[in-house]
A = this chain, B = another copy of it.
């Protein structure tokens, strides 16, 4: 697989000064590179023998849509508060200032499910951790977490001890 850093665009000072945004739209627009990225995630998920995919709103839906289709297994959305219409449970996570919460439908996961969690990015790990808790509250087991990008200098893995995490590319500092 090619180095994804050659297809991910780095944009300084977005969303604010000092932050470098790792823009996956250039990866999404390159079908060959994207297919290679999905191939690697598909291979990982098959070794983990997952029976459901949980995708995190909203960029996680891009990965989840493709991988659930490839594996032919159920696709479960985790969304921001108030978006899911059926009975939900919720889990808070920290923002820079204050908190927000994520929700999942209570009928989405059942005891014994072996679940993969997909998102585009592992940063501080807050939304991934909240998502894992939602799955576990419903009796599921998180068999693996897959992301395109890890920002390891934010130490998200420290918050996700005990989970198996697969990231296709790592940025270990805030440099272009």
Contact = CB atoms under 8 A, between A and B. Distances in A.
Interface of A: 9, 11, 14-15, 21, 23, 25, 28-31, 34-35, 38, 55, 57-59, 61-66, 68-70, 72-77, 79, 82, 84-86, 105, 108
B28 A76 contact: yes
A29 B108 contact: yes
B14 A85 contact: yes
Contacts of A65: 61-66, 69
B75 A108 contact: no
Contacts of A38: 69
A25 B82 CA distance: 15
Contact of A61 (B9, B11, B59, B73): B59
B31 A76 contact: no
Given A58-B61, A77-B25, A35 B72 contact: yes
Contact of A108 (B25, B35, B72): B25
Given A58-B57, A58-B61, A61-B59, A68 B15 contact: no
A69 B32 CA distance: 10
A68 B34 CA distance: 10
A73 to B, nearest CB: 6
Given A30-B74, A65-B66, 9 more contacts: A15-B82, A28-B75, A28-B76, A34-B68, A55-B62, A59-B61, A61-B62, A61-B65, A66-B68
A77 B26 CA distance: 11
Nearest to A52: B29
8 contacts: A25-B77, A31-B73, A55-B62, A57-B58, A58-B79, A59-B61, A62-B77, A65-B69
